[in-house]
Amino acid sequence: MATPPAPTPPRRRAAWLQRGWQALRPGGAKAGASRSHASEKASPPPSPAPSPAPSPANTAAAATAPPTEPQARWERHRFAWEDQLRSYRLFVPARPSQAPPLLVMLHGCQQDAADFARGTRMNALAEQHGCLVLYPEQLAKANRLRCWNWFDKAHQGHAGEPAMLAALTRQVAQAQGADPGRIYIAGLSAGGAMAAVVAALYPELFAALGVHSGLPAGAASDVISAFAAMRRGSRHPQLAGRRPGAMPTLILHGQADDTVHPDNGERLAAQALAALQASGLALTCVDSDEGQAGRTAQVRRWVDAQGRTQLEQWTVHAGPHAWSGGDPAGSFTDPQGPDASRALLAFFLQHRRPAGAAAA
């Protein structure tokens, strides 16, 4: 059942939400019934003046010239969902692998797709590995700060924003010929919290989850409980009517995060570990310290019998509420931290969703 997008909160709640999410600025950071896949095309360039006929020498040189190198594409598209057009960006590498992996990246509050891509530098890594990267954008009229509405009951089931994001992911994966077993989702802050919600609701679609400075699925059900979870951590996070399913998960959280309490990262790890163990996996925990220059991180990895890391938790020492190791050209980045994008992609590419895996 499709549910209309939640209306913009009343003025008093919007002011409260504005004050709360304004804290996202860390030190040094800047401040379907109807579905289509339409690209915004630039106006064609003017026609060039006629060229003189080529000489035989020029013709021979052109015949022996090396072929033009393929170029990566950074595309802007719109997606029709419930009578609204949703913008998104898509990175297509110059040489995508056959049936390439697809990574879905959800931005945080006060960000957009281009800003998030710039700050995470994920496209450069995706080029190296032949991956597609999808960056959906939140509508300003759905949330004045462009936060994903992870805390709203209207967006915690198979409707609203989760349904839109799942439909968009399927549309792009099919159009681009992505490997259906290698689709991943990750996000920062409100985007990380929404990524956790979407992965919990659509485990048949995603092979792994990444949450940076976010909250567990079901951590809140309204604005009041959202701020409580952000300030103190979520106590018993769970989506209504759903038992957490087993999914490979990477969690990264700054120890000095004063916007989303680091206890949320601990809750995410505990929830993911319990679900993985309940699925029958035997896991071994390995601890290490990582990071050479700048900030370091304590890293805990739970590894299965085949040597694959099923759960990975990074706690960045003195890390703020920002994308660790990000580019300062983007907002909400911490250039001194370990490279979150590299860790995330390395973790994801270990995992393939089993063929025919069904939702819990």
pLDDT tens for each residue of 34-51: 344 444 433 333 334 444
Find, among 90, 118, 94, the residue nearest to 104 by Cα: 90
Task: Identify the pLDDT of residue 28.
Answer: 38
Q: Is residue 190 part of a domain?
A: yes
The CA distances from residue 135 to 186, 187, 242, 339, in Å, are 10, 10, 27, 19
pLDDT at 85: 93
Residues counted in the chain: 360
Kindly state whether residue 255 falls inside one of the protein's structural domains: yes
Task: List, for the chain, all residue ranges whose pLDDT scores fall below the cut of 50.
Answer: 1-54, 57, 59, 62, 358-360
Nearest-angstrom CA–CA distance, 146 and 287: 37
Per-residue model confidence (pLDDT) at position 357? 59
Q: 262: phi > 0 → left, psi -120 to 50 → alpha, else beta; which?
A: alpha
Quote the number of domains for the chain.
1
Nearest to 214 by CA among 157, 183, 162, 252: 252
pLDDT given at position 240: 66
Q: Residue 217: its pLDDT value, please?
A: 94
What is the enclosing helix (H) or strand (E) of 290?
Answer: strand 284-290
Q: Give the pLDDT score at 49.
A: 43
How far is residue 26 from each of residues 93, 108, 190, 230, 321, measured CA to CA in Å?
A: 32, 13, 15, 15, 6
In a domain, 293, yes or no: no
What's the pLDDT at 59?
Answer: 47
Distance of CA 318 to the CA centre of its chain: 23
Here the tokens at position 200 are 């919990």
- Reduced to 3 states, what is the DSSP secondary structure of residue 91? strand
- For residue 65, the model assigns a pLDDT of 59
- Does the residue 154 lie in any domain? yes
Kindly state whether residue 43 falls inside one of the protein's structural domains. no
Residue 149 lies in a domain: yes
Q: What is the pLDDT of residues 4-15, one digit of tens each?
A: 334 334 333 334
Query: Where residue 256 sits, what CATH number does that domain have?
Result: 3.40.50.1820
Q: Which amino acid is residue 58, in one-letter code?
A: N
What pLDDT score does 167 carry? 97
Contact 102, 174 (CB under 8 A): no
Contact criterion met (CB below 8 Å) for 161 and 76: no
In a domain, 271, yes or no: yes
Domain that holds residue 95: 72-282+320-348
Give the pTM: 0.81
User: In this structure, which long-range contacts are made by residues 261-265, counting pairs with CB atoms below 8 Å and at least 24 apart in sequence?
Assistant: 261/229, 261/230, 261/231, 261/232, 261/233, 262/233, 262/315, 263/232, 263/233, 263/234, 264/214, 264/215, 264/216, 264/219, 264/229, 264/230, 264/233, 264/234, 265/211, 265/213, 265/313, 265/315
Q: What is the DSSP letter of 254?
A: E
Phi (first) and psi of residue 109, to 5 degrees: -65, 150
Can you list the alpha helix ranges (DSSP code H) found in 222-311?
A: 223-232, 263-278
CA gap 200, 134 in Å, rounded: 19
Residue 307 lies in a domain: no
Selection from 129, 65, 124 nearest residue 349 by Cα: 129
